[in-house]
Homo-oligomer: A and B are copies of this chain.
Amino acid sequence: MVMRKLNTSPISGMQEFLPVDQVAFDNMKNIISEVYHSHGFQSIETPTIDRSEILFAKAGGDTEKQIYKVFKTAETADDADQALRFDHTVPLARYVVEHENDLAFPFRVTQIGRNFRGERAQKGRFREFYQCDIDVIGRNTLPIAYDAEVISTYFSTLQELKLKDPIIRINNRKILSGFLEALALESLSEEIFGIIDHAEKVPPETTKEALEDLKIGDDAVEKVLAFIDIHGNSSEVEKKLKDFDFGNETFETGVEELLFVLRLLEKQGMKDKTIADMMIIRGLDYYTGTVFEAYLKDYKYIGAIGGGGRYENLAGHFTDQSFPGVGGSIGLSRLFYVLNENNLINKSEHKPIDFAILPLSENEFEYSFELSEKLRKKGKKVDIIFSGKKLGDKFNHAGKIAKFAVVVGEDEVKTKKLIKKNLETGEKTPLDA
């Protein structure tokens, strides 16, 4: 009996795929990368390990507790206190400050890679996870048109991933801030933002009660509830929002920005796909203007599959120079997990191998090489199974990894007549090679 000497499972909270899942995952990653590039976002890759003082500069609360610190087994004098990056934003801020003079602003940038958070392990949450980010970084200023461009890129990506009915819900934090100013509720903004942020996860009465608990008066409660119910296309929300007629500057700027972004998107054929929604907050994060979240219409219960927004100052912790930005992120590890759990990944489409060549003996190796080279030149992925297994075992092997099998025996070498067998359907057809 074969004995294992050590526990060989991956550490809890790590995602590790078999090749058939890996190929489906990589396919999604490649599509995301291609769409991002097609929209002019330039790839960069920051080191996984960075100085703790850089990584901890922005982090706080839970994030700070989740950061992995690293140290070498044998320390050398030149090693600063170091840690693993927990998102792409902090290293991007460092990168932009460091390379400012070599970059062209507005800088469209994409980062696709693994980040690390030592969260308590739970279903669909990973400690090492892929994030696929886009950002546009300006120097001093950044036109609002880039907010639309980021959302448009994000939407195209979800479409190219063949996700069914993606919807992007958009808001502007200035509208919310101005709304609270107009009602003289700024002092409670953190509490009210929190209540709105959770409104979709709880019954309507819970939201109402939470607002009532703030003792802001029935009229204000009704106004907030009516406000967060506002959603629709640009014309629909324009009317409802302008009805408030607060004369509040922040509110009006927010409405103007939101409508500008929405209309740019609608002009690009995204009407009914990009929808204004006053319930979108994006947590208590550092967003200052546009915010957006993506959902799948038929799978709204799985929650937002990602989002992003506008921030006024990317690198305030590192420099006096102002770098406003707008960005979005797809949490690929979690998205893949959720799609897989819901059987929304078509795996038969993405076999690791196209053709498995099965030479019957060493005499057919040479011809098998020739044949596989021809198929490779056509862009096919080709495995030659050299092992001394019986033919049945070789077919079994091929069936696990490949779309087609091709037997090469004495006859095939002589006649050059080859048959490819579809390993899913069993169908046999002549192979042109």
Using known A-B contacts A43-B352, A94-B8, A104-B400, determine if residue A72 contacts B80 with beta carbons closer than 8 Å.
no
Question: Among B14, B22, B73, B383, which residue has its beta carbon within 8 angstroms of that of A40?
Answer: B383
Copies of this chain in the oligomer: 2
CB distance from A222 to the nearest CB of B (A): 39
A10–B104 alpha-carbon span in the complex (Å) = 20
Measured between beta carbons, the chain B residues less than 8 angstroms from A142 are 387
Which of A44-52, A167-175, A235-243, A293-301 contacts the other chain? A44-52
A51–B12 alpha-carbon span in the complex (Å) = 10
CB distance from A256 to the nearest CB of B (A): 14
Interface footprint category on A: 35 or more
CB distance from A313 to the nearest CB of B (A): 13
CB distance from A60 to the nearest CB of B (A): 12
**Is A98's CB within 8 Å of the partner chain B?**
yes
**Is A305's CB within 8 Å of the partner chain B?**
no
Using known A-B contacts A38-B380, A149-B386, A401-B42, determine if residue A49 contacts B19 with beta carbons closer than 8 Å.
no
Which residues of chain A (320-356) have a CB below 8 Å from chain B? 320-321, 352-353, 356
A138–B51 alpha-carbon span in the complex (Å) = 42
A317–B109 alpha-carbon span in the complex (Å) = 43
Q: Digitize A1-45: 1 where CB-to-B-CB distance is under 8 Å, 0 elsewhere.
A: 011111111111011111100110010000000000111101111
Q: Digitize A82-104: 1 where CB-to-B-CB distance is under 8 Å, 0 elsewhere.
A: 10100000000011011100111
Measured between beta carbons, the chain B residues less than 8 angstroms from A69 are 70-73
| Contact (Cβ within 8 A) A22 B42 | yes
CB distance from A110 to the nearest CB of B (A): 10
* Given pairs A10-B94, A40-B383, A145-B365, 13 additional interface contacts (CB within 8 A): A11-B51, A16-B45, A18-B99, A18-B102, A22-B43, A38-B376, A38-B382, A66-B73, A69-B70, A142-B387, A149-B384, A152-B369, A267-B365
